[in-house]
Amino acid sequence: MSIRQLPEDLINRIAAGEVVERPASVVKELVENAIDAGATRIVVTTAGGGRSLIRVEDDGAGMDRDDLVLSVERHATSKLADDGLDNIRTLGFRGEALASIGAVAHLTVAARTENAASGLRIEVDRSRKSQVLPQAMNRGTIVTVRELFAGVPARLKFLKSDRAEAAAVADVVKRLAMANPQVHFVLDGSDRSPSNWPADGELRARVMQVMGADFAENAVPLATTRHGVVVTGLAGLPTYSRANSLSQFYFVNGRSVRDKVLLGAVRAAYADFVFRDRFPAIALFLSIDPAAVDVNVHPAKAELRFRDSGGVRGAVIRAILDALGEAGYRASSTVAEDVLGAFRAPETESAPIPVLGAAPSGAFSATSPATAGQERSQTASFDGLAEPSARYEAFELPPEEDSYPLGTARAQMFENFIVAQNGDALVLVDQHAAHERLVYERFKAELAGGPVASQMQLIPVVIEFPEEDCERLEDAAPTLARLGLYLERFGPRAIAVRETPALLGQSDIDGLVKDIADGLAEWDNSEALGDRLDSIIARMACHGSVRSGRVLRVDEMNALLREMERTPHSGQCIHGRPTYVELKKADLERMFGRTR
């Protein structure tokens, strides 16, 4: 077969295959054009999942007759003034969206400029262009796409249900709306109930409109500049993580992107706080010198390439860690909501709740240990009620109680839960989870300043292991020494522990070293142990923590609460579970139906 130059409509259809993958990609191109045209209000309407109708209407600059004719031509763009690709400040620049859409659908572009007496329109039906016709309209541009892919069965086959395509359209509009809080967005049409996001210019307000007030409430602001990268946006609290990545929004210079460097950086920043299979919610905005990023690596411009990806990664991780660090002990408010949701009012028919039913009124004013003891012997006779494991302390409200966010400890339940009260809330703390996080953070802080302090064992602890474990522990010994754990081979099948991290106090050395040996066996050998330091520290922290089941004195409990308030990330344990739950007095009243 001889080589021939392809006819233009075929070229356009080939290009359309890249740019116009599905209705959502058409919507993306059209809305980006409207934004580039300086629109302040954009209305997106779709029907049939975008297959039967897509209309994007804007109040931007519009086009005059010459521009209108050129706009539907391939490689015609108003956006590359000088012939360079390395300083792109508009969303579009390839000049092929309208031409491509016109190749695979029925396209109408209508436009009117500020000074024009009236509007004009041009129609393109699978690359056949009409004359320019008059069109009554206000300033701006209205692009209508009908019968998308009608003549392209190969493409139609790959489309999902109308509902799924409509959802993809909504997702695209969300991302564009978040990137452009200065623009009023309306999403309408028979595909959905309408969304209306007026512009008040504030990023935070827009994020709330799009991602919900819930997210904004459970997120902390980002604001870091590093390596010439400005990072802003909102980072969700770790306890607000999701099961998929739909609540992750990434923007670079106002462009919504999906980028491995950014995804990886977010994952790394949250690695300590969120389980591997959970996704933190985040709206991440990067501002970077346009010359330091190549946006021309993907036909739909969804991917990009950073010149200094290491610097970008560093800036993002720093921004998130700083923000989460400032949030400190804060756990997500949805934790308390989940707890409240779990309570159900007891059914009226069922047996009376034993304790309340049996206790004469006033008998529960357990202000002294003696009364508490009496109470215990009375209630102990109830079938099915375990011995209560609460400890009561005589309490005078300390005057400063209001000033502590986590309140003042009042009691310990089941040897693991600290009950505290701050001004208007009941705070329940999981002492083991909380302490684990505290020890972990202390470890990391100490390690940052050099090897962790150790304490000598009077008599080395000798632990027996299978030979492979001994080998692995011996290999890891220099790394473990940095963490304050000094091990030595002790014959073929034993390890001697000479010094342990001072932070851990008198803990279960045997269990700790076995745990580390398990970890070493489980981790991929190819992975440098240095990258596993955090996991080792986590294991150490777990062993060094106040186990559940340990009785704490009131001053010990309060010391724990105060340290939580001072320590970054203490709102969740190292496994990503919350360390405390706060129930507002109003929530408690609601639980008991006391609110009017």
Question: Residues interacting with ligand ADP, by CB under 6 A?
Answer: 29, 33-34, 37, 58, 60-63, 67, 71, 76-79, 92-99, 141
Q: What are phi and psi of 421, to 5 degrees?
A: -130, 130
Least spacing, CB of residue 482 vs ligand ADP, in Å? 54
CB crowding 308-333: b at 16 or more within 10 Å, else e: bbebbbebbbbbbbbbbeebbbbbbb
Listed in sequence order, the residues at least 6 apart from 415 whose beta carbon sits closer than 8 Å to its beta carbon are 389, 548, 549, 550, 551
591 with 346: CB under 8 angstroms?
no
185 with 30: CB under 8 angstroms?
no
Q: Which option in Mg ion, ligand ADP, none does residue 60 bind, with CB closer than 5 to 8 A by kind?
A: ligand ADP
Cα 514 to Cα 227: distance, rounded to the nearest angstrom: 43
Residues linked to residue 584 through DSSP beta bridges, in sequence order: 425
Least spacing, CB of residue 145 vs ligand ADP, in Å? 12
Q: Which option in ligand ADP, Mg ion, none does residue 145 bind, with CB closer than 5 to 8 A by kind?
A: none
Q: Where are the strands (E) in 147-281, listed by range?
A: 184-188, 195-197, 219-226, 229-236, 248-252, 255-256
Least spacing, CB of residue 80 vs ligand ADP, in Å? 8
Report the chain's terminal Cα–Cα distance, integer Å: 84
Residue nearest to ligand ADP (CB): 92
Nearer to ligand ADP, 45 or 572 (CB): 45
Listed in sequence order, the residues at least 6 apart from 525 whose beta carbon sits closer than 8 Å to its beta carbon are none
212-218: long-range contacts at Cβ-Cβ below 8 A with a sequence spacing of 24 or more? 214/334, 215/240, 215/247, 215/281, 217/333, 218/281, 218/332, 218/333, 218/334
Nearer to ligand ADP, 97 or 222 (CB): 97
Residue nearest to Mg ion (CB): 92
Least spacing, CB of residue 3 vs Mg ion, in Å? 31
The strand pair at 53-58 and 41-47 is best described as antiparallel
Residue 435, amino acid: H
Nearer to ligand ADP, 184 or 539 (CB): 184
Nearer to ligand ADP, 105 or 574 (CB): 105
Least spacing, CB of residue 98 vs Mg ion, in Å? 7
Nearer to Mg ion, 148 or 557 (CB): 148
Q: Which option in ligand ADP, Mg ion, none does residue 34 bind, with CB closer than 5 to 8 A by kind?
A: ligand ADP
Nearer to ligand ADP, 111 or 324 (CB): 111
Place of tokens 């980002």: 222
Least spacing, CB of residue 251 vs ligand ADP, in Å? 18
Q: Which option in ligand ADP, Mg ion, none does residue 71 bind, with CB closer than 5 to 8 A by kind?
A: ligand ADP
Least spacing, CB of residue 35 vs ligand ADP, in Å? 9
Nearer to ligand ADP, 97 or 295 (CB): 97
Least spacing, CB of residue 140 vs ligand ADP, in Å? 7
The Cα-based distances of 449 to 442, 444, 499, 534 in angstroms read 11, 9, 19, 15
User: Which chain residues interact with Mg ion by CB under 5 A?
Assistant: 33, 92, 97
Nearer to ligand ADP, 33 or 247 (CB): 33
Q: Which option in ligand ADP, Mg ion, none does residue 304 bind, with CB closer than 5 to 8 A by kind?
A: none
